[in-house]
Structure 1
Amino acid sequence: MKILIVGAGGIGGFFGAKLHQAGADITYLLREKRQKLIQQQGLVIETPKASFTIHPKTVLANQLEPVYDLIILACKAFDLSDSLESIAKASSKGLILPFLNGLTHLDTLDHQFGKDRVMGGVAHIAATISESGSVKQLTELCSFTIGPRTPAQESLSQEFFALCKKADFDSFYKENIEQTLWDKWVFLATLAGMTTICRGSIGDIAATPYGKDLSKRMFAESCAIAAGCGYAIAEPSQASSQEILTKEGSPFTASMLRDLLAGKRDEHQHILGDLIGFADLKSIDCPLLKVAYTHMAVESKNRL
């Protein structure tokens, strides 16, 4: 199986490197500056336990050919259009596997490629690109969940999952992958919403008199939206998410907060705004999510 990974950031860089170590045929699609750096020093992965370096195959957009069985999109949601332009020479063949936050990107991909060519995937990792260009894993959490969205994808999905099982990260296969996407979305919306409003970690929020209750209320709003769209979050999943979102002493934050504090472009529209859009369609009240979105919208405008 020939795999093209678009970008070598937190998700693509880390999981692609682990798959490369496991023997997978990985090629990275990069911009010229990133390609030169990786050609010079390799792709460096820093983890809480150790660091390692791989020397992967890389390609620029104008060098692409339609030879890949699987194209993994590991970009930020706001970079989807640019990523689709960059894979134009390769995308007439193979399945597309997006690891983007939110859910509305599936509509875009289904429209362009047809649903039979668009798998579902969820990545759980906190990682960033350091000043030196290495991919730095911030916590030990690292898992991949994939699954087919139509029967036409089952064979390749299972083949790719077999590759993932050989790699040094947790991997899961879900028949109902769209439910898994909703499970992550409601969790991430609450994590991003609360940590950006409060500009602090889960532990900071939990240490205040009202923090835990507000986190639970925002999570309940998100769960209500999922249920209203036909993807009710199961009780065990709700319980485990709430435990993480209210854990005392936890340093956990959302990447949206890190982007906010660094003055970078963020995904508030895709994580918060799109979820609120579904709530409005279903006439579901979600005042806390709207406060979080409004706060980020103002912050984003002020950074322009």
Structure 2
Amino acid sequence: MNTPHTPTAIYKDPERYYREEVKKEVFNRYNIAFEIFMAEQYSRIHYSELMDNGIDEPFASKQRLISWINDNTKGKEVRPGILTKYRLEHPNHFENGIWQARYFSYFVHYAKGLLTDETFVKSKKIADEFNRSFKNEQWYWQAVAVLGAKLLEYLYDKNALQTDIAKTYVRQIKLLRQLLKSIGRITGRVAKNYAENYGYDNTEAVKEALFVINQSIEESFRQQLALSYQIFKSQKEYQYYQLYKESIEKDIAQIYKEEILEIKQPLQRTALKSGF
């Protein structure tokens, strides 16, 4: 009877071998959970669904945040944005070209560091604005959502996502955006041609009718996306997301809590010195 071959690594140090195997499995599960968490929580048709500018305080706008997330090209000169800098400066967060999503919380912390660094944003005023913004809990969570959405889409374009679920979410979002953009161009031409041929009296009514059609298409897509969520729930990958969702949320929240702690500690020291 032939005995099965036992790899040297196991019989020489079985505890170490199995410990490493368990660690790999845990890392893989967290990668899956984080990626699906990001896809479900942050994949939206419009970034305005993730961040609004309705907060009364003078915080950084969605447009300003996105402008620093993206690269900026002026002529032949390219200013790397947060996404590009992150990928170039952290190659160890990728394995065989695939991003290890367990580093998402680190990415948020990294982005916060850049946005509050005047050498990156080229202005103390802008850095101070972001610093003030990150101290607001509502703004913080909205910014995390935008950062997550942009990162997912960036990684999708680089073929650097791991799970089919995340790829499907992002692919559907991108396809709908392209469709809506095409419809927008068509409706613009229709309204213009109508006005030129039949006068401008009913142009607004035509635009409104076209807008309703556009909204109907968008709503239909949202329903399909919601249906996809239900289908995904039966998959093993999705179960990892459900298992680790709470710990993921706590991990991301910790960045904000540390920010608040930094504010409170100087105040506490001042109070102690004052005898309170």
TM range (shorter): under 0.3
More helix as a share of residues: 2
Q: Decide which structure has the larger Cα Rg and report it.
A: 2
TM-score, normalised by the number of residues in structure 1: 0.21
Give 1 or 2: higher strand fraction.
1
User: Relative CO higher for 1 or 2, CA cutoff 8 Å, sep ≥ 6?
Assistant: 2
